[in-house]
Every structure is written in structure tokens, then in C-alpha cells.
Amino acid sequence: MTVQTRKERQKLRIMSYFIDAAHEVIENEGVDAVTVRKVADIAGYNSATLYNYFSNLDHLIGYAAVKYLKDYYQVLDDYIKEADNGEMKYLKIWEVFCLHSYERPKIFKAIFFMMPNDDVKDVFDNYFEIYPSDFGMHTADLLPMLNAHTLHQRNKESLKLLVEEGVIEADTIDSLNDMTIILYRGFLDKMINTSQDKLVKNEEVDRIINHIRRAIDAFRL
């Protein structure tokens, strides 16, 4: 564990004020209502100070959005524990992820699709240093996925379960990974762009899991 200097601790503490303020705006008004001025006023700093710690507003929103992963992390291990093989575990991982991300599609889009990859790594590393309890406790086999940053990296780690059990060849991982992320991005945009009273979340989850299952079948040995 890295020992933090006083300056590093101070930086993370001030970042937490802005992150908590942005989260407050999201909770009360929605992610589209987050502005630099609102966040700075709540945090108790001037707007210019924010840019000493975050490259832009989307960068800050990314940090605030990671707070919503906490609920997903808390239930993940229990949700997949009944899976009796790697393929079932992989599908259950996607199922619980979609159940949570479809509740707040704009938030999950902000985390995984609106920031450059380098920013995503920075956000995850710093966020869980500021809020370590939000990461929770997980079985060792889930840590490679949870310690990855981008959705492509996370899914690639999960797809190794299918390789280990001989479901797919190792050299097909990248193609299947790309296909799955494209599917998820499309469904996430659908959740954002379609009136929620016209969608049934569980039905949409079942629908994408069926598509992911067919994608696996396309590469199955």
C-alpha cells in the first residue's frame, strides 16, 4: 500500500468535496443538471478551483458516476455464486451489470463511454483511493475484472472464463469482446433515448443476455 504524502491526502480530500457535490446534484436534479457553478457552490470553492483537480466537467461527472457502481459491487458476488460453470458465470456477470446500469443508463454511459481511456484509469484509481469502502470485498477470481478500467478490459477478463473451459478459442476473445460491447452500447443508448414507460427493464436485460448468448454461440467450439 502506497503511503500518501500530506499534499496527496489534501488533494484527494478536496477532490472528494467536488465529487460529493456533483453526486448531490445528480441525485437531486439528474446528471444533465450538473454544472461547474452548482458543484463549486455546494463544495464551497470557486469555479476556477475545480479545474485544479479535474480536467473538465465530464471528468468530474465520471468520478461522481463511479459512486453508482457501489450498489453493483455490493451484490455482484452473491448474484453469481450459484453459477456452476464459466459460461453461466459470464452471463450472470453481464446480467447483474445490466440490471444496475439500465437503472441509470446516463450514469453508466458517463463512466464507460464518455471519458478517454487514460481518464477512466485515473478516475477508478483515484476514486477507490478516496472511497475504499465502496469497492467492497470480492472473491479472487473477480478481482482481475474489477481492477480493470475500461469496459473492454473488464469484459476481456471475464471472457477468459470461456477460454479456460474450452467454450471459445483464445484468439477469438477480441472479436467477441468487440461484438459484446457494441451490443451493450446499443442497448444502453436505447434505455437513454426511449421513454421509460415504454420499456420494461427486466425484459431489456433478458433481451441483451439472449443476444450475448448468441454471440458466444457464433464463436463456440
pLDDT of residue 2: 59
pLDDT of residue 145: 96
* pTM value > 0.75: yes
Q: What is the pLDDT of residues 107-142, one digit of tens each?
A: 999 899 988 777 888 899 999 999 999 999 999 999
Q: What is the pLDDT of residues 73-97, one digit of tens each?
A: 999 999 999 999 999 999 999 999 9
Amino acid at site 104? R
Q: What is the pLDDT of residues 193-202, one digit of tens each?
A: 987 766 889 9
Q: Which grid cell is 170?
A: 483464445
pLDDT of residue 154: 97
Average pLDDT, integer, range 42-63: 94
Q: CB–CB of 80/32 below 8 Å?
A: no
Q: Where are the domains of the chain?
A: 6-65, 68-219
CA–CA gap between residue 177 and residue 158 (Å, rounded)? 10
CA–CA gap between residue 39 and residue 60 (Å, rounded)? 10
Q: What is the pLDDT of residues 157-195, one digit of tens each?
A: 999 999 999 999 999 999 999 999 999 999 999 999 987
Looking at the predicted structure, is the pLDDT value of residue 1 above 60?
A: no
For 67-115, give the secondary structure using H, E and C: CCHHHHHHHHHHHHCCCCCHHHHHHHHHHHHHHHHCCCHHHHHHHHCCC
Pick among 3.90.1640.10, 2.40.30.40, 1.10.10.60, 3.30.870.10: CATH of 6-65: 1.10.10.60
